[in-house]
Structure 1
Amino acid sequence: MPGRLRLGAEGRATAGRQQAGHAEAIAAVVDLSQLIAARKADPPKPGTPVSYAGTKTVEAALVAEGLLNKGLADGHFGTATIDAYAAWQRRCDWSGDDADGTPGTASLTKLGKRRGFDVKE
């Protein structure tokens, strides 16, 4: 059915419509400015709403990279996510202030290419 989504083999959303036996992929989009704002705002008090839903996409990618414990992927860009993102930046050969856990265009784009999401600047 057109418009229906399902999870593909790698857990990514795919369109329900198929052409020539292949499903069309629909990539998530992470807004860099909103992600940075979430990084600055979180961690909130327990029980507060997630500040930016795109954080969950990034956390899922960090879990898949083996950098974040799945139990700590709660949608808040808190201490564990900051540490995991800094580890990702170091894995990408950044260091010092360039590996402080705050997403930048290059590191987030690289993570998105590996894990199936696009980045909006």
Structure 2
Amino acid sequence: MEAVVKAAQIDPRRRDSKLTPGAKAGVLLVEKALRDRHLLDARWVDGYYGTTTVTAFAKYQKSLGFRGIDANGLPGKASLAKLGAGRFKVTRAIGPGGRVKFGKAVVNVRTRTMLNEAKRLLGRKLVLDQGSYNPGGDPTSAGTHDGGGVVDVSVKGMSAATRVSVVRALRRVGFAAWVRSPRQGDWPWHIHAVAISDTTLSAQAQHQAGDYYLGQNGLSGRGKDDGPKVTIRTWEEYRRL
């Protein structure tokens, strides 16, 4: 599951047809199962989890009764297990957990655990300006906070060097994170962070996670990544270190 979810974030953002390393076998299993349910044309069974596969999986999720962010085309544990019944077993499962509070903001259990680990690494408190599951909230967020796994961290009182150190810690534990400045858009200084492979990410947040893997800054212009260089890992990969 980890490899398939990673591919579902990265592949739709590629400008080429390269496969996400380590994901082909799992993606093929998913695509063949979707094909056999007449949700995906056979020509798209290629190990590449592009937009067509995302759309097909979203249709499958809706057929199971999932709605809204739970039918976002990213394989959740429940939908993936149902798709694989009698065909394959789900291993390396990812679960965001239920909604909880981090300070005054709403996040999920996985995101809160990641933030707490980043706090531990930094040795300082983190305060959120905005949490997750905020559909139609701040219009400058362009829908990234509509689902789970996305937070804006306050930089009040932080020096430029401290901002970078916070981004570095967030990246280490599995966030795609960047310092955002007013010159980039209609927003104040803050740190924007997307929990990679959170299966409740909005479509916009999925794109940001994919762009991060591809060395971009997560903005609509898809510019070069402007954050500190850190080996990209998911939360699950970080925990296995």
Q: Which amino acid aligns with 1:56?
A: L
Shift, 1:47, TM fit: 4.4
Separation (CA, whole Å) in 2 of partners of 1:41 and 1:61: 21
Please provide the CA RMSD for this pair. Answer: 1.4
Unpaired stretches in structure 2, ≥5 consecutive residues: 94-241
Task: Kindly report which structure 2 residues correspond to 1:2-13, keeping only aligned pairs within 5 A, or say none.
Answer: none
The answer to which structure, 1 or 2, has the higher relative contact order (CA under 8 A, 6+ apart) is 1
Q: 1:26 matched to which residue of 2? A: none
Shift, 1:73, TM fit: 1.6
Q: Which amino acid aligns with 1:106?
A: A
* 1:119 and 2:90 matched: yes
Superposed CA deviations along residues 70-99 of structure 1, whole A, max 9, x for unmatched, are 111221110000000000000100010000
Q: Is the 8 A contact 2:10 2:20 kept in 1?
A: no
* 1:41 and 2:41 matched: no
Q: Is the 8 A contact 2:11 2:50 kept in 1?
A: yes
TM-score normalised by the chain length of structure 2: 0.35
Q: 1:22 matched to which residue of 2? A: none
Shift, 1:40, TM fit: 0.8
Q: Which amino acid aligns with 2:18?
A: T
How many residues in Structure 1 have an aligned counterpart in Structure 2? 89
Structure number with greater Rg is 2
Shift, 1:50, TM fit: 4.6
C-alpha distance 113-71 of structure 1, shift in aligned 2 (>3 A): same
Separation (CA, whole Å) in 1 of partners of 2:72 and 2:17: 26
